[in-house]
Amino acid sequence: MHTDATEAQRTAVGLEQRPIADAHPWLTTPVGSKALRVGLCVLATWSIAFVFNTLLTGAGQGEYFLPSMGWVISVLLVPAILCTALAAVSQRWLTRFVPFTQSLLFGLLSYLSANVIAAVLAIVDALGNPSCGSESSCTEYTANTIMFAGFVFLPLILVATVGYGLALATVTPSGRRVRAWLIGATVCSGLVLAAALTFQ
């Protein structure tokens, strides 16, 4: 009897010492803080990717890739704002999954949401264009616009997935280090982008 009680106590202690699957700090983080972290991490990830892509493919084509500072700011902010709102409304569903799956699902969800918004805007634009009427050319143009948006938004899957994963990491014990690296990389990207706009 005494042996059974001792064994039960050891088992209880062992269970207490094991990491609990649901104990990720993200689960106890307020929704507003989660959404803000996701938005900022997506902004940082997208800024770094945007600068890298511009330097890689836009050499000598600054007027095309970087037409103005306002254009650059809007291109960087719109995906971050979308992901912030999406993170806020999807947390109850996403937190049912493990962190890695959450990140992948969020990337796909961001891509689908961006395509839905683009499709709605394209359809509204076609309906509001008096020159369209019932011409098939307008229907074809709208369909091509939607398909083109689906192609252009493909990188959003990766950006949103990585950004969400980084947001998850910011609430872990190594979060301070993650934030420091993100801030440093984003600042460096901003300086490179500012220099490219200045000397184009």
| Confidence at residue 61, expressed as pLDDT on a 0 to 100 scale | 52
pLDDT value at 122 more than 70: yes
**Separation between Cα atoms, residue 84 and residue 98, nearest integer Å:** 20
Per-residue confidence (pLDDT) for residue 41, from 0 to 100: 93
Q: Which residue has the higher pLDDT, 50 or 199?
A: 50
Question: What's the whole-model pTM score?
Answer: 0.78
From 27-31, 93-97, 112-116, 180-184, the region with the lowest mean pLDDT: 180-184
Q: Which of 51, 91, 80 is nearest to 171 (CA)?
A: 91
Position 197 scores a pLDDT of: 64
Q: What pLDDT sits at residue 117?
A: 93
User: What tens digit of pLDDT does each residue of 60-92 get?
Assistant: 555 555 666 677 778 888 999 999 999 999 999
Per domain, the residue ranges of the chain are: 36-46+81-87+99-200
Given a cut of 50, whether residue 187 has pLDDT beyond it is yes
- CA–CA separation, 124 and 119 (whole Å): 9
Contact yes or no for 61/182 (Cβ under 8 A): no
**Gap between the Cα atoms of 31 and 29, Å rounded:** 6
Closest by alpha carbon to 50, among 193, 194, 200, 198?
A: 193
